């Protein structure tokens, strides 16, 4: 979601990533990945120019163009920590280094995370902090939006406040006409804002003009005109705003329009037999949703929706002997399914966006503005400040904790990278390895309770269970995921000879005692859910609690902890900012969820789900007739299909499509609904770290300046448990223990064995056994076989896997002992 920093709800101007790999455009100065920094043995990192050589430097440290990644962008200040500077954590110190440590000073291994006298903007953030948000926006599933001022800004602020108020009102006093009536009103408020907040970004005419104009001055003028046009709503945008409001509100307008209109009940009575005006406005809404998805997420999702639309319309022309053929639907039937049914635009995905996601995004905005995000990073650094692997552990812990604030893997990656990358660099991590660690930790934010991604709420709605139950299913896999990352961190620290880094942030207990109230609202959500409160009410009460607790922030100047001052108190003006931030953050998700109705309605009308499931199972049965192997092959094929699907569409749409296509195949083979849903959920999320797109890895490479492809492979190595664990709870009944289902013995057995599998795989991938030494190629192969075998949670495979792991460990011990006993070379002794 695009961050908001002004009360009118406008976001920072950031250029979208237009390259196929999601890399930023060359004109986005702050987001272009820098050259790979050279590792210096003494901890000193190279300087890099931050300013345009044509621009004058009026001070020793020009902060007019801060570096969002935290690397030095100008020459080090010779006076240590005395000169003001801007850093991406919201602090003003002497150099553009977010850690606050002078790499050229006498103690390069001591990192100071706390400095005083930080100049701030009115809302408590710094220029460089905004630059970090700009960089994050370029790697999210949605494109960055406009900076809105004037009438457009006031309209967005007013409508956003109304939508936020309506969402909270619906929690306690639902509209008497029913949930669909509320969804119609919600979409009527949100969809027009999409066309205000997101530019069309159609650059073809400008490019054609640029080709005709050979003179460089004319080309520059054309580019400036294009930028100016995209910076404010055009006449066409305002036309789309009016059309969106009319098409969305038409079902509830009381006036009669020809044979249509007449109010909400009359509209429902025409289901299956639309009036001409119903058909026209339904078609308009269809086209508007496709355009809204294109503006917010790119061309891929609209293309997928058009593919399903074409299948629904032309599928009747396919040979009836084909498994995917159907009787055929005319256009009016399709529009009726989209516009006037419970499985179309106003289906479960939109219901989730309007009922849950908007409330959680508002809650996340409240936490962020109250300083919780900064506190989580500082607490992570304080907890590991004297450990040899403090830098890596801090990055991983920060990713887990920041997941409560940010629901995006790419945004979390940039946020933790801006603070911890200088720390990792001083410890000696290569940029690619550090980037892989940051990306894996950032994506874990979507998998971590208590605020999972949007797809988790859809799971709860599809399966008819409480959100607390979904959180329970995700708990053990999340622990295993971060266990794998932490083991990889420990292995890398020993294999690569990482230098110890002392992080000077004070005692974690003192930090908890003073600012631990930031955890209170998160704990309150779990408590409220445990006592039977609905998720919507739980998050509203947690938001109110977070607002009240924000006034515990000390007055400015009463603490040396950066960022924890009264600038984070949620005054009425900042509450308006939080509400607008939350509503604007849900614009793209709403467009995606409403457009997902095209996919779900087409699948329901044509019966594509069962047909695709039969094809998937048939492909597995063509290889083997053994039921167990058929299940394994189907799961593997489904994992590949979901991974490929996730490369093209956002996580929420990927889950919806995967559930209606892959879900029935797993259910037909006897997989329980919770296991099938969580399987689809995990592989939808993992698209953010799957090559060749891997948005989180691309964002990490932009932060560290590392090479892109090696960063992706390092990310895959760190995220390996997340790819394998879902297969474990699908292929065997005992695997349900990983979801917390089946009693204490099954849960304990599944958790312990899978933890052993994760540990063995981490050793095999990292090539190092902690406490012993390097692992040879034969032992790594045995370890990989052992780890995969252990995932088959049955007695015989577990026994075989444990034996293979023991043999591999014994081989490492023998190799190490042999190396220790080997006599020294006599020639070397003489030398």
pLDDT digits (tens, 9 = 90+) for 39-71: 333 333 333 333 333 333 333 333 333 343 334
Does residue 214 register a pLDDT over 80?
no
Burial class (CB in 10 A: 0-12, 13-18, 19+), 770: middle
661 Cβ contact partners less than 8 Å away, ≥ 6 residues apart: 603, 608, 609, 612, 613, 641
Does residue 708 register a pLDDT over 70?
yes
Annotate 88-129 with DSSP letters as a single string: TTS-B-SSS-TT---TTSS-TTEEE---S-----TTS--HHH
Burial class (CB in 10 A: 0-12, 13-18, 19+), 614: middle
Task: State the Cα–Cα distance between residues 425 and 786, nearest whole angstrom.
Answer: 34
Per-residue confidence at 79, pLDDT binned at 50, 70, 90? very low
By the 8 A CB rule, do 145 and 2 touch? yes
Per-residue confidence at 806, pLDDT binned at 50, 70, 90? very high
Task: State the Cα–Cα distance between residues 221 and 218, nearest whole angstrom.
Answer: 5
Residue 540 in tokens: 């509203």
By the 8 A CB rule, do 93 and 81 touch? yes
Per-residue confidence at 648, pLDDT binned at 50, 70, 90? low
Does residue 16 register a pLDDT over 50?
no
Does residue 622 register a pLDDT over 60?
yes
The reported pLDDT for the residue numbered 489 is 86
The reported pLDDT for the residue numbered 142 is 53
Task: State the Cα–Cα distance between residues 40 and 499, nearest whole angstrom.
Answer: 12
CA 313 to chain CA mean position, Å: 34
The reported pLDDT for the residue numbered 137 is 54
Residue 822 in tokens: 């080997």
158 against 72, higher pLDDT: 158
Per-residue confidence at 545, pLDDT binned at 50, 70, 90? very high
Task: State the Cα–Cα distance between residues 762 and 108, nearest whole angstrom.
Answer: 31
Task: State the Cα–Cα distance between residues 722 and 367, nearest whole angstrom.
Answer: 27
Task: State the Cα–Cα distance between residues 725 and 736, nearest whole angstrom.
Answer: 11
The residue assigned the tokens 């296509």 is: 661
Per-residue confidence at 478, pLDDT binned at 50, 70, 90? confident
Q: Is the peptide bond before 622 cis (omega within 30 degrees of 0)?
A: no
The reported pLDDT for the residue numbered 398 is 81
Looking only at Cα atoms, what is the longest distance across the chain?
Answer: 104
Residue-wise pLDDT for 146-198, tens only, equals 778 888 889 999 999 999 999 999 999 999 888 899 999 999 999 999 999 99
Average pLDDT, the chain: 76
Residue 415 in tokens: 């946020």
Beta-carbon count within 10 A of 203 CB: 13
The reported pLDDT for the residue numbered 392 is 84
Provide the residue count of the chain: 831
Q: What percent of the chain has pLDDT over 70?
A: 74
By the 8 A CB rule, do 528 and 541 touch? yes
Q: What percent of the chain has pLDDT over 90?
A: 23
By the 8 A CB rule, do 274 and 336 touch? yes
Low-confidence winner among 129-138, 653-662, 747-756 (lowest mean pLDDT)? 129-138
Per-residue confidence at 709, pLDDT binned at 50, 70, 90? confident
Mean local confidence (pLDDT), 484-507: 79
By the 8 A CB rule, do 450 and 471 touch? yes
By the 8 A CB rule, do 72 and 47 touch? yes
Residue-wise pLDDT for 260-319, tens only, equals 888 899 999 888 888 899 999 999 999 999 999 999 888 888 998 999 999 999 988 888
Measured in Å, how far apart are the chain's first and last C-alpha atoms?
64
The reported pLDDT for the residue numbered 235 is 92
Residue-wise pLDDT for 344-377, tens only, equals 899 888 998 899 889 988 998 898 888 888 888 8
Residue-wise pLDDT for 406-428, tens only, equals 666 677 788 788 778 888 888 88
Please state the pTM of the whole predicted model: 0.74
Across 426-446, b (16+ Cβ under 10 Å) vs e yields: bbbbbbbbbbbbbbbbbbbbb
R_g of the chain, CA atoms, integer Å: 27
375 Cβ contact partners less than 8 Å away, ≥ 6 residues apart: 511, 515, 518, 563, 564
The reported pLDDT for the residue numbered 407 is 60
The reported pLDDT for the residue numbered 238 is 94
Q: Is the dihedral of CA 485, 491, 492, 497 positive or negative?
A: positive
Mean local confidence (pLDDT), 137-148: 62
Q: Which residues share a beta bridge with 112? A: 504
Task: State the Cα–Cα distance between residues 798 and 795, nearest whole angstrom.
Answer: 5
Q: Which residues share a beta bridge with 92? A: 86
Q: H or E stretch including 769? A: strand 768-769
Sequence-ordered alpha helix ranges (H) in 353-498: 358-369, 372-383, 390-402, 409-427, 431-447, 454-463, 467-495
């Amino acid at each position: 979601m695009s961050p908001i920093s002004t009360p009118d709800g406008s976001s920072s101007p950031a250029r979208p990533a237009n390259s196929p790999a999601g890399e930023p455009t060359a004109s986005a100065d702050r987001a272009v990945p820098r050259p790979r920094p050279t590792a210096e043995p003494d901890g000193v990192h190279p300087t890099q120019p931050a300013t345009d050589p044509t621009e004058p430097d009026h001070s020793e440290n020009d902060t007019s163009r801060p570096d969002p990644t935290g690397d030095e962008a100008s020459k080090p200040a010779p006076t240590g920590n005395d000169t003001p500077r801007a850093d991406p954590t919201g602090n003003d110190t002497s150099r553009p280094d977010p850690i606050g440590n002078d790499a050229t000073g006498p103690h390069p291994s001591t990192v100071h995370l706390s400095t005083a006298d930080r100049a701030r903007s009115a809302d408590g953030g710094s220029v460089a902090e905004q630059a970090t948000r700009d960089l994050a926006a370029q790697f999210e599933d949605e494109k960055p939006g406009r900076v809105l001022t004037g009438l457009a800004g006031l309209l967005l602020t007013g409508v956003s406040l109304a939508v936020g108020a309506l969402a909270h009102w619906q929690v306690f006093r639902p509209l008497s006409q029913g949930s669909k009536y509320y969804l119609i009103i919600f979409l009527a408020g949100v969809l027009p804002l999409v066309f205000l907040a997101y530019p069309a970004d159609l650059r073809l005419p400008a490019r054609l003009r640029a080709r005709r104009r050979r003179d460089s001055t004319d080309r520059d003028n054309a580019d400036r005109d294009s930028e100016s046009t995209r910076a404010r709503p055009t006449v066409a945008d305002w036309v789309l705003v009016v059309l969106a409001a009319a098409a969305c509100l038409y079902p509830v307008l009381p006036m009669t329009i020809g044979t249509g209109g007449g109010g909400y009940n009359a509209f429902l009575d025409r289901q299956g037999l639309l009036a001409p005006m119903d058909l026209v406005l339904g078609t308009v809404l269809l086209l508007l949703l496709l355009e809204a998805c294109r503006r917010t997420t790119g061309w891929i999702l609209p293309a997928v929706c058009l593919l399903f639309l074409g299948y629904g319309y032309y599928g009747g022309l396919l040979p009836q002997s084909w498994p995917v053929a159907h009787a055929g639907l005319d256009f009016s039937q399709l529009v009726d399914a989209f516009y006037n049914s419970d499985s179309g635009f106003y289906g479960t995905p939109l219901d989730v966006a309007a009922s849950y996601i908007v409330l959680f995004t508002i809650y996340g905005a409240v936490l962020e503005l109250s300083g919780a995000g900064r506190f989580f990073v500082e607490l992570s650094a304080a907890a590991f400040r004297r450990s040899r692997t403090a830098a890596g552990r801090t990055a991983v812990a920060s990713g887990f904790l920041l997941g409560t604030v940010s629901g995006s893997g790419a945004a979390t990656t940039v946020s933790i990278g801006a603070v911890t990358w200088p720390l990792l660099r001083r410890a000696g991590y290569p940029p690619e390895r550090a980037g892989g660690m940051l990306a894996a930790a950032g994506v874990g934010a979507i998998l971590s309770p208590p605020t999972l991604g949007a797809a988790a709420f859809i799971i709860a709605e599809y399966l008819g269970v409480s959100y607390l139950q979904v959180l329970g299913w995700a708990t053990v896999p999340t622990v295993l995921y971060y266990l794998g990352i932490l083991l990889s961190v420990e292995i890398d620290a020993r294999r690569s000879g990482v230098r110890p880094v002392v992080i000077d942030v004070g005692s974690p207990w003192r930090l908890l005692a003073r600012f631990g109230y930031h955890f209170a609202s998160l704990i309150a959500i779990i408590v409220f859910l445990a006592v039977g409160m609905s998720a919507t009410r739980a998050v509203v009460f947690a938001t109110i609690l977070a607002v009240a607790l924000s006034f515990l922030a000390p007055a400015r100047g009463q603490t040396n902890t950066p960022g924890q001052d009264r600038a984070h108190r949620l005054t009425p003006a900042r509450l308006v900012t939080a509400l607008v931030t939350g509503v604007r953050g849900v614009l793209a998700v709403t467009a995606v969820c409403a457009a997902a109705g095209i996919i779900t309605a087409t699948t329901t009308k044509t019966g594509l789900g069962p047909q695709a499931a039969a094809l998937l199972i048939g492909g597995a049965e063509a290889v083997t007739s053994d039921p167990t192997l058929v299940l394994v092959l189907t799961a593997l094929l489904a994992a590949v299909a979901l991974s490929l699907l996730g490369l093209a569409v956002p996580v929420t749409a990927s889950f919806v499509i995967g559930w209606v296509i892959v879900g029935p195949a797993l259910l037909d083979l006897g997989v329980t609904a919770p296991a099938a849903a969580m399987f689809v959920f995990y592989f939808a999320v993992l698209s953010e770290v799957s090559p060749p797109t891997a948005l989180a890895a691309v964002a990490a490479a932009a932060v560290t300046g590392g090479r892109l492809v090696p960063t992706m492979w390092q990310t895959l190595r760190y995220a390996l448990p997340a790819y394998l664990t879902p297969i474990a709870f699908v292929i065997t009944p005992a695997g349900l223990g990983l979801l917390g289902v089946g009693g204490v013995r099954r849960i304990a057995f599944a958790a312990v064995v899978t933890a052993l599998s994760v540990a063995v795989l981490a050793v095999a991938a990292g090539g190092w056994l902690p406490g012993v030494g390097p692992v040879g190629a034969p032992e790594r192969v045995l370890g990989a076989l052992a780890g995969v075998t252990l995932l088959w949670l049955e007695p015989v495979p577990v026994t075989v896997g444990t034996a293979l792991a023991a043999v591999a460990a014994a081989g490492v011990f023998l190799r190490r002992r042999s190396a220790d006993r080997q006599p020294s070379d006599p020639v070397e002794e003489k030398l």
